[in-house]
Structure 1
Amino acid sequence: MSHPAFSAATTAEEVASVFADRIQGKNVLITGTSINGIGFEAARVLAKYANLVVITGYNSERLKLSQDAIKKDFPTANIRPLTLDLRSLTSVREAAAEVSAYHEPLHVLIHNAYAATAEHQLTEDKLESQMAVGQIGPFLLTKLLALKLLAAATGSYIPRVVYVSSMGHALGAGIDLNTVEKGDPEKYAMMGRHCEVKSANILSAIELSKRSKGKINGYSLHPGAVVTNIVQKEDTKEALQEFGLLGPDGLPSTKIEWKTIPQAAATIVAAAFTPELDAKPGAYLVDCVVASNKSAPHSSDPETAAKLWTVTEGIIGEEFDFE
């Protein structure tokens, strides 16, 4: 279900080159595009070929740095910055309204942004922060941009929503539907919540594909273990050490096979543009290839996916339809 040459060592640039004709003319929005992150690298390589790449972030200064860096590599690239703070449903609505006013349709929406928090935190909307950024905000954004995505559909093209999940989802027990909104401050553990959020991503891709009835396809993926800004944050070091990602010295564990940022971003590009995936809606990818058999049962259960969808609709106070 993918290019035969793709592997764990494949880079995002290599994937984009293979699918250059398919990327050409497409409009893509990707969240979480700070420099030194996999979202930035995916945006950078797509910008070489795409008609439009919308990059997002809550910090306008860092967003400008990302825009300038991409333009330095590809001066003719059409990069459009969008201020978006997924911790705030108001910000999500404002950003979605801005995108809805674009004259271009939206071919691919990539949910890459993530914010790990060492301590239990509630947002201004009284939502647990990790779940707000990783699941609830993206759910609302997808709902509000559904018409933009549908506008990109043709007889030969199905719009896509891509969720950057993690193999870490399998290390947890799945998502607790009773604590999606606020979490459990008494039992909160950063990496435990991480596993729940990443499970939610996989379930969302499955349910989105099912409910759209072929109008929009959702995909999720494991990018690989990679040293990004999240791994380097001082306040999350202890939790990452407990999870085995960092050693006692605070450096990346030698027991883990790490990817470079270009390698980790490759599966994002593959999920967004591999044409054969049209026949596999809801698929989970690892190393640029379909690996749905590696998704834990608790994160691929259709009943749980349907319940999570309903719970999330209740949290945002709106039903999600595709009309």
Structure 2
Amino acid sequence: MKQTIPLQLRQSFTPAEYRDLYEMLLEAFIKKEWPDKGPAPGGKFSVWFKEGKKGYRVGELFQVGPEYFYDRYGRAKNGKSISLEERLVVAVLDYIDMNGRTITELLSNFYSSPNRPSRKTNAKTSAIAPTESAVQVSEWDDVIATVFHFYAAVDAGSAKHHEAWNCLTPRLQHSICESDFERFCEGYTNTVAIKNIKVFNVVKNANEAVECSVYYIDEIRNYRSKDLSGWDEYTVADLMEFVEKVRKVEASVAAAGGKGFEKLELYKLFEPAASEYIWYKCRIKPENIDKVFPTHKATEIKRLYRVTCKHIGGRWLIDTIRLLNVHSSR
């Protein structure tokens, strides 16, 4: 039977650990989201009903409802252990300013943090409560190191692109750019920085490969044109205008030496980095990008991938990088 890879691994906390996590999150949330007038009347629970741009702020930050953390806090106070999805643990620890590139490092810093309420010095005894948990060193440290090395090399720019290239298996090198190193480098023409890299959900699959989830913020030069904008406001009634704009983009791509525009997936044209996909897939040379997209704007895009690594020639190398689609539930 084929093994199912758990993409939503969970992290368990003892009652005291979760109470500390909640109280630190509550303090940070009030400081960051209620900086001027403090939380709304009604007690500490009302804090979580802070309105954001598109709903509750806690939902925008963590994709959970306003009662989520408080409800589990009540259970922890009643002596119940609490289990959270690892992606949520990473988001919370990052929000309360724990340092760490992996969930292992983040948790280790949380468990040993002197800011944990249960570890603060007792005014009468001057004693500090002992830490309750110890994080084990991951057996996949070499895998995690390879993943970090790849993205750090991309972030460092063209001088380090050969190091990123050497983190990939020959199969992946051929898959993404037909083993053409120059084209691989061109794919990062618009990359400004890769920030806040997190690696989590590390598991071994049935094929003796190791998988992990990778999240980071991709700061890019988002190339733009008037023919590739405003589509989010289109309706069915604007269908012919939409077709006309797509044809203009197609003509611009051809004039810049691009090929294969007609084979692009239509939905890609609606994505925030549509221009990036177009010039790369149509093989437009960097010096000709402005012929299709004359302006650009600095844009930050949150990326989430599932990365598979294989052990080849005594080294762990990246064999697949697969985009994970994140959907919010209503």
TM (normalized to structure 2)?
A: 0.24
Question: Which structure shows the bigger proportion of residues in strand conformation?
Answer: 2
TM (normalized to structure 1)?
A: 0.25
- Higher relative CO (CA 8 A, sep ≥ 6), structure 1 or 2? 1
